[in-house]
């Protein structure tokens, strides 16, 4: 389920599930990486941002079968937020 009936919670509108919220956040993160990669020298900067939140063993190709499993990503939300802010700053300041 991505959306729940709000009536069960006393609301007159649908309620987004945590899964839907995480999908939205992932889409927004992807868009930030893509926007930066379109800028001059942006691909390298986007890769560096990814490297700051993805564990090292993923980049060197270890255990590719389980790519995307929870251990591959940092779980500290502050690390992710710092990366998002850095991406936004780079997108804003980089020339096309």
Query: What is the predicted pLDDT for the residue at 20?
Result: 95
pLDDT of residue 34: 93
| CA distance linking residue 94 with residue 96, whole number of Å | 6
Strand partners, 73: 54
> In this structure, how many other beta carbons lie within 10 angstroms of the beta carbon of residue 42?
20
β-partners of residue 43 are: none
Determine the pLDDT at residue 66: 56
| Angle value at C-alpha 64, between 59 and 70, nearest 5 degrees | 80
Structural domain boundaries enclosing 29: 3-93
Tell me, what's the pLDDT at 69?
61
Domain count, the chain: 1
The pLDDT value given to residue 40: 83
Which pLDDT score, from 0 to 100, does residue 74 have?
Answer: 79
Model pLDDT, residue 68: 58
For the chain (96 residues), the mean pLDDT of every run of 10, in chain order, is: 90 94 92 91 88 66 56 80 92 76
């Amino acid at each position: 389920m991505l959306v729940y009936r709000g009536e069960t919670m006393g609301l007159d509108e649908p309620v987004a599930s945590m899964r839907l919220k995480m999908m939205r956040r992932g889409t927004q993160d992807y868009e930030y990486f893509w926007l930066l990669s379109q800028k001059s020298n942006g691909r390298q900067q986007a890769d560096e941002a990814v490297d700051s939140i993805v564990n090292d063993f993923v980049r060197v190709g270890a255990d590719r079968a389980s790519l995307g499993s929870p251990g591959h990503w940092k779980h500290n939300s502050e690390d992710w937020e710092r990366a998002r802010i850095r991406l936004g700053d780079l997108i804003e300041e980089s020339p096309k």
